[in-house]
Structure 1
Amino acid sequence: MKKTMITGSVVCGTMLVMGLTSSLTVSADDTLAGSTTIGAEVTKGDTILDIDKDTNFGQKPLADKVDFGPQDIKYTVTDYTGTKDGYSISAKLTDEDTTRSLKINGKELSQTPIEVITADANKVGENGAKVTAELVYTGAQDTTKFNSTVEWVLTKATTRAIKE
């Protein structure tokens, strides 16, 4: 009986091993590789102008002409539109003061916008720089703290605008 059990176990084991081996056999019709197409699209992002919020020229004593000298104003144009054709920035004053002379990059500001910064090209991402502001009061009659507000407008250049 013991011999029959051993023979039966060997036969069962052999059948089990043969069955497993045959199920792992690869035939020529099986597909063992595949492919996947990955798609993505990068679209235009934003353009942002970030400019110093405050510029303080300090204090000077009252005189016929009070020249506060130059001050730098930092700005950053962050551009994720994918175009690199440059940009321009215009500035204007929001009020009128006949005693004040405020120049940005040598250009006198008024209540009418004037282009003060021009970049012929830019990179994708942050484009930082600075402009020089010069403030002079002529004929001021009061000892007071003067405040002026400058409005800035960023305009992206187009290929057509650059060619003209």
Structure 2
Amino acid sequence: MKKIILSAMLCGGMLLGVANSGVAHAADKLTGTTTATATVAKGDVTLDVDNTASFANPQPLSADVKFDGANVGYTVTDYLRDTNGYTLSAKLTDTDATRTVMIGDTPLDPEGGATKVVTKDTDKTTNPKENLSLSVEYKGITEVKDYTTTIEWDLQKAQTQQFKE
């Protein structure tokens, strides 16, 4: 009888040992946290234009001073993807009778009126950053100083795409 009791205890102990070996012990990390940030932009189409443009080389004072080669980067983003093209206009915010400003091959109105400088007719307005070339020419200046030109931009989206039923 002692052998049966001893055998039962030994067998029961082995069964408990096997059962306990599958229990999970303390883990390093069982939970986590993720923060997702979503930005809502004002409007469905936005224009992002470089704040500054610089000409690489200073020019000596003369009767005709021309600066070429500055780039103005811009990006048009269509958040709703329903814009069928856009027009980008530029205008000078000050008048200077000695200055001529060109965006690409288009002269800006010296009196400050808006001039169309980019017209796109596609619905793919989420292009990466594009560049416009800028040149400024001064005639008849007599003073050595930094001359500043400020350009105001205006984006007009074209008509919304027409969906057929």
TM-score (norm 2): 0.65
What is residue 27 of structure 2 aligned with on the other side?
Answer: none
Distance 1:124 1:90, change over 3 A: closer
User: How many aligned residue pairs are there?
Assistant: 117
What is residue 153 of structure 1 aligned with on the other side?
Answer: 154
Say if 2:124 is the partner of 1:123.
yes
Aligned mates of 1:124, 1:140 — CA distance in 2: 41
Question: Aligned residues: percent identity?
Answer: 36
Distance 1:124 1:91, change over 3 A: closer
Aligned mates of 1:125, 1:135 — CA distance in 2: 29
- In the TM superposition, residue 73 of structure 1 has moved relative to its aligned partner by 1.2
What is residue 30 of structure 1 aligned with on the other side?
Answer: none
Say if 2:46 is the partner of 1:48.
yes
RMSD: 2.0
One-letter code aligned to 2:139:
T
What is residue 18 of structure 1 aligned with on the other side?
Answer: none
- In the TM superposition, residue 123 of structure 1 has moved relative to its aligned partner by 2.1
2:83 and 2:160 in contact (8 A); partners too: no
Structure 1 unaligned runs (5+)?
1-44
- In the TM superposition, residue 78 of structure 1 has moved relative to its aligned partner by 0.9
- In the TM superposition, residue 84 of structure 1 has moved relative to its aligned partner by 3.8
What is residue 95 of structure 1 aligned with on the other side?
Answer: 94
2:101 and 2:136 in contact (8 A); partners too: yes
Deviation track 1:121-143 (CA, whole Å, cap 9, x = no partner) reads 13264453111111111111110
Aligned mates of 2:94, 2:149 — CA distance in 1: 7
What is residue 135 of structure 2 aligned with on the other side?
Answer: 134
What is residue 11 of structure 2 aligned with on the other side?
Answer: none
Say if 2:67 is the partner of 1:68.
yes
Aligned mates of 1:152, 1:102 — CA distance in 2: 14
2:89 and 2:118 in contact (8 A); partners too: yes
2:49 and 2:74 in contact (8 A); partners too: yes
One-letter code aligned to 2:45:
T
Structure whose alpha-carbon radius of gyration is higher: 1
Aligned mates of 2:157, 2:147 — CA distance in 1: 33
Aligned mates of 1:124, 1:117 — CA distance in 2: 12
- In the TM superposition, residue 159 of structure 1 has moved relative to its aligned partner by 5.7
- In the TM superposition, residue 118 of structure 1 has moved relative to its aligned partner by 0.7
